[in-house]
Amino acid sequence: MQLNYDIERSRKAYPPITGNGIKKNLGRQDGPLSKLVTTDENGVLKQPRQIALEDNQYGIVRDFQQFGVDYTKEPMVVEERGDGQLELISGFGRLSALLSMGVNRYFYEVLQFESPKDKIKWKRRFNTGEDHRKQGTPNTLDTYKKGLVEMKNENCINWRDDDVCRAEIRDMADGTLSDTDVEVVLKRFRQSNTREENVVGYTTPEANKKAKQLGQPTKGYVKNTSNPAWDRSGFVRYEGNFSSKIYDIVNLYDNYGAKIEIVGFIQNPIHDKIGKQRKDYLKAFNRAKAWMKKHLKPEYHDIVVFKGFLPQITTADPNQGGLPRERDLVL
């Protein structure tokens, strides 16, 4: 799908982005969205927020479809890295929405930053407001806490000094936080450990992409013989309760005879609660299976199987050379 946009109109409606820590603005450009770098070397999304919000993405999709591009809002922002690649800095929600619509080309502001700290700071600054027609999701306090953790890991601030941390919090928030909120962020940072930060959330398109990389069926029956999931049926779901899909599941099984494989993910993972979140998901999944056994013919009782959860805990595993603890489906 092609989405009509006018870069010149965007330049006139929203001025070039400049500020302390931005080394160079290379202008408003457009290009293929598939070329943007959105994950690190371990496949972890570089989104500054700790969670991915599905409803926000659908709101942006509806907005694009009804009104088109809002040129008065801050554009998507990318960094031109030293290796020449373009890394997405701001606009993760819009990117997911555009890709889900089948849009493969769009415009963005191209920047270079003075330092790693400035890059971390501006990732939060770009999210202090709402982007496309107020559909964007502003930062939470945990977004700033995560920023401090990233600065600590980059060794670019004296993170043991409370006053330094307070100053960085205020700088990331561009003065939008109250003194009380600054203290809350600092307290959470002091109470946190590095493991707490290392969880990743997915939107449905991102989850489908990850599952496909792991060789799983994602949208029903796979007919493509070159696909590793060929001749299999399955879906990727953030809800364990698949009752709303039972009609589709039965039809799919009747048509192709392959059991329906479900891959799960936690939409808004919280590190110290993700174990419970997964248990709750499985309880809902098993309730749906029990309903099938109670109400459907015996030949349909076991046509749905749970394959596992997408990897979402990305804490480095010292026993695996520092690779993420979860890299494949988790049972």
- The Cα 150–Cα 146 span in angstroms is 6
pLDDT score at 49: 60
pLDDT digits 0-9 by tens, 132-141: 444 555 688 9
In percent, how much of the chain has pLDDT > 70?
Answer: 90
H and E: helices and strands count for the chain: 11, 10
The backbone region for 202, taken as left when phi is positive above 0, alpha when psi lies in -120 to 50, beta otherwise, is beta
Entry pTM: 0.63
DSSP helix/strand/coil, 297: coil
Q: Where in the chain is the domain with CATH 3.90.1530.10?
A: 1-137
Per-position DSSP letters for 162-218, written without gaps between them: HHHHHHHHHHHTTT-S-HHHHHHHHHHHHH--HHHH-B----HHHHHHHHHHTT---
Structure tokens at 243: 């009752």
pLDDT at 260 over 60: yes
Q: What is the mean pLDDT of the chain?
A: 88
Instruction: Give which of 15, 17, 13 is closest to 25, Cα–Cα.
Output: 17
- State the Cα–Cα distance between residues 237 and 285, nearest whole angstrom: 10
Q: Which residue has the higher pLDDT, 125 or 216?
A: 216
Q: At 197, is the pLDDT very low, low, confident or very high (cuts 50, 70, 90)?
A: very low
Q: What is the mean pLDDT of residues 65-89?
A: 92
Confidence band for 75, pLDDT divided at 50, 70 and 90:
very high
CA neighbor of 44 nearest in space, from 239, 210, 264: 210
Whether pLDDT at 51 is above 80: no
More confident residue, 45 or 176: 176
Amino acid code (one letter) for 299:
E
Give 80-103 pLDDT, tens digit per residue. Answer: 998 999 999 998 888 988 998 999
Architecture of the domain made up of 1-137: Alpha-Beta Complex (3.90)
For 220-239, how does the pLDDT look when each residue is reduced to its tens digit (9 = 90+)? 999 999 999 999 999 999 99
